Structure 1
Amino acid sequence: MVSKAACLLPLVGGVFGQLDAIPKGFQSDQWAWVSNEDPLLAAIPGAFNRTVFDAPSAANVTDQRVASVNDHIQQSSFVAYDQRFFDVIGPNATVEQLQVLPFQVHEAPCYVKESSQLFFVEWGPPGGSENGRHDWQYLLDLKTNNLTRIKTDPPTWNVHGCVYRDGNMHVVTDGGPDETGYLAIIDPATLKRTTLLNNYFERPFISFNDIELDHEGNYYLTDSRSGFGRSLHPFNAPTQPTVYFVNGTNMRIKELAMLEGNANGITLSPDGKTLYVADTGASESKPARRNDQGPREMWAWDFATSSHGAKIPLLVNQRMLSRAIEYFYDGIRTSSNGLIFAAGGEVVDVIDPESGWTLGSIRVGGNGNDPVNIALGDHEMWIVGKGGVWHVKNIKERLSHTE
């Protein structure tokens, strides 16, 4: 049982800050446990304020004890809000930055286990080479940490989402200078790209954002304003942000849901019965701005069943599962036990799929380093985002639930 006794933090301005004590065996310089059982955090003395886009530990506070707490959190790799987070992550986990890259959005990570490689991209303006428009991708050798640029055959413009399955990288794109967004597969050995679908009954997509696959090989795609908002292609947005189902055998396509905000990250529960989608409508485009009143929800739906009890591509029981404590969620993935790992702001949050409680956060250092998307291994994960690539290893709970 974890002790609830407070641990004293370094002296700041003559007073001590307090946090809940971490369990034995966990490193105090890597961990913080924050809960409202501590009266100091439940009812903060003095003045305090932050926006919804800022981390809690970046809040402006006047009480030096709270400032000391925030300083400790800023130096931590793991922040627990629930005792279960310690059991998920375990005492041996560490966070290491593998690649230091420009503070440009990096997206679409795919972990290719057989060759120990990580595929990902540098995505979209502003910044970056080619004004953020790319017909190349990155491939990181996880054994040597050697990073190379690659081009598929034919070249693939502006990849935005990726899932690795059955020897192929399944990708979605925003489209490029002369093409709309599409679904494709890439052979990681030959880099041969095959386009599977590029239209909805001869209507172009807006710009695909992310992708998920179920155990039967069917696709779930988010079509968003993100690529359109950054002018990655010359086409107008023909519809609202939409979630699509695509039959993986015959490419038959169906609209599942439409969002007034922006359809972004997407993932399935391990049993395939629940679909989760991150809404990033708080990030507006044309004109580009962040709206603190805009959508930041993570939505959950269940799948309907036929009269014979079979799952069908029809969503029911929509509910708001969670809203990010800071910023909004971009890439989301589920672990083998159904926990949701959600990247956004300065952290990757771990969320309970039933209650929506945030169990804890994995931090990558702040100071502009922002997770955008993730790829899960068995007891490890890779984070890509603004600032580079990070590896979280020696995680206690098994994460990957795909073969």
Structure 2
Amino acid sequence: MAISTSLFATFLVAAVASASPTAHVLSPNVAARLAGNSSGESPVAYQCGPKTANVTCINRYGSFLPPSFSRDPDPAVGYTGTKVPDDSSWELVKQADFVLFDKKRGLEILGPAPKIHRGIISVLNVIHEAPVYVPELNKLFVTQDGPPGNLSILSLDLNNDPPTVSLVETDPPIYQPTGGLYNAKDGMIYYAVHGNNASLPGGLQQHAGIARVNPKTLKAEWVLNNYHGFNLAGPNDLTIDDVGDIWFTDTDYAYVLGVSESPKQLQLSTWRFRPSTGQIQIMDTSLSYPNGIAFSRDGRTLYVTDSGLESYSPIPTRGAGDFYNYPINLQFNSTGPRSIFAWDVARKGHDGKHPVITGKRVIFQALEGAPDGLKVAANGIARIQTSHPVENIQWSGRDLKTLWLVGVGGITKVEFNLAGPDLAHYYNGGR
């Protein structure tokens, strides 16, 4: 969970999508009027690309703006909230569906007929997380996060258009997953579950950890729920590497959201768990709020997002304008971490499978808010603007070119030319 307000797609796609107004296509005369600024410099933005969506290109990554520009540092103020009074072309950015910083590669991503569908599914104004696509069923499973907590999961049947939506419950129920991944090798969904309440309806007891679910039968089982007797703060997201280990991030968002009765007992960290032996190992403690996590397609690079501009606050808030349906114990620091980090991954040990990560570096800083869940894609640079903040993303469809963006109070569907990976053949350069 993180307040995320832009989506920037390179070979890596992080859920940081924008709460900008619903876009509309401008008439040619209005577009022409917006194509300049008062200083005589080239306009910051101009219309470009296919007409099936409102596409705007940014000149030189927007690296020079008229000196009158300003932006509120509040993390909740999006990139489109920048004020550029001396360049009216900025209106194109505010009203766009897709914003391209690299026109050539951006248009390759979009393809000939990009489309964005907002509000096609009626949802609660709560945090939506853990989107998981199961190809065999052609279904998307999405969790709903926040107090008083949920034992049910949204099931979107994509065999129908618009999707048929139902609420399902696993057996036994799992309380408040916040990250999920479909493992094509065993046909199971693996969930990072951060709900940690001592007593739930029906006498159910649960600690935070990792669970797996058969998507066909909804039978669930736990594989991890402690570190040598310590509670985990709340696994946030997870991924599986090319030798079958589960890597996950652990944060105290569960306590922040009121779905855990226990404050953190351990440092917030990135962990590795080997299901075959039960071994759990801490891999990194350097991030303030480790969040989304993924591996490169060759397994040689680890990516983790840091949403450290958010942290626990003893004073609950609903956010400006009652942003949330419920009070949460969250505070924002505009100068806190909001980056995606990468490490090199090497294999050592007697079996050549023990991972060692080195070479930590920043590869991206969010344009606004904080980066949350992330997925590895193909290539290109673009920005998708939704009508709601986005927490995580997932591709679906036979060609894996439909992207679902799920977040606070909304689910958005995007159709374009940027394909997601085939999870059955994810690691294409394995050792």
TM-score class, shorter: 0.7 to 0.9
1:298 aligns with 2:340: yes
1:99 aligns with 2:121: yes
| Aligned twin of 1:180 | 207
| Aligned twin of 1:150 | 168
* Paired AA for residue 390 in structure 2: P
User: Per-residue deviation at 1:69?
Assistant: 2.6
User: Per-residue deviation at 1:193?
Assistant: 0.5
Contact 1:371–1:385, Cα closer than 8 Å, also in 2: yes
| Aligned twin of 2:73 | 51
CA 1:300–1:20: 2 relative to 1, 3 Å: same
Contact 1:8–1:18, Cα closer than 8 Å, also in 2: no
| Aligned twin of 2:24 | none
> Any residues of structure 2 matched to 1:2-401 within 5 Å, and which?
9=31, 11=33, 18-19=43-44, 26-27=50-51, 30-36=54-60, 42-51=64-73, 53=75, 54-63=77-86, 65=87, 68-82=88-102, 83-97=104-118, 98-125=120-147, 131=148, 133-144=149-160, 145-166=163-184, 167-178=187-198, 179-287=206-314, 288-306=330-348, 310=352, 312-335=354-377, 337=378, 339=379, 359-364=381-386, 366=387, 369-377=388-396, 378-393=400-415, 395-401=416-422
Contact 1:32–1:80, Cα closer than 8 Å, also in 2: yes
User: Per-residue deviation at 1:237?
Assistant: 0.4
For residues 279 and 141 of structure 1, what CA distance do their matches in structure 2 show? 32
Tell me the SS of whatever aligns to 1:72: helix
Deviations 1:144-201 (A, max 9, x none): 2111111111111011110011321110111232132111111111111110111112
User: Per-residue deviation at 1:310?
Assistant: 3.9
TM-score using structure 1 length: 0.83
Tell me the SS of whatever aligns to 1:42: coil
Contact 1:180–1:235, Cα closer than 8 Å, also in 2: no
Long gaps (5+) in structure 2:
1-28, 199-205, 315-329, 425-431
CA 1:282–1:168: 2 relative to 1, 3 Å: same
**Superposition RMSD on alpha carbons, in Å?**
2.6
User: Per-residue deviation at 1:255?
Assistant: 0.6
For residues 260 and 146 of structure 2, what CA distance do their matches in structure 1 show? 11
Contact 1:9–1:18, Cα closer than 8 Å, also in 2: no
47-56 or 185-194, which deviates more: 47-56
For residues 207 and 261 of structure 1, what CA distance do their matches in structure 2 show? 14
For residues 44 and 51 of structure 2, what CA distance do their matches in structure 1 show? 14
Higher RCO (CA-CA < 8 Å; seq separation 6+): 2
User: Per-residue deviation at 1:215?
Assistant: 3.1
85-94 or 287-296, which deviates more: 85-94
244-253 or 26-35, which deviates more: 26-35
Contact 2:307–2:371, Cα closer than 8 Å, also in 1: yes
Tell me the SS of whatever aligns to 1:120: strand
Tell me the SS of whatever aligns to 2:59: coil
* Paired AA for residue 286 in structure 2: L
TM-score using structure 2 length: 0.77
CA 1:311–1:258: 2 relative to 1, 3 Å: same
User: Per-residue deviation at 1:299?
Assistant: 0.9
User: Per-residue deviation at 1:295?
Assistant: 1.1
* Paired AA for residue 49 in structure 1: R
For residues 95 and 110 of structure 1, what CA distance do their matches in structure 2 show? 20
1:402 aligns with 2:426: no
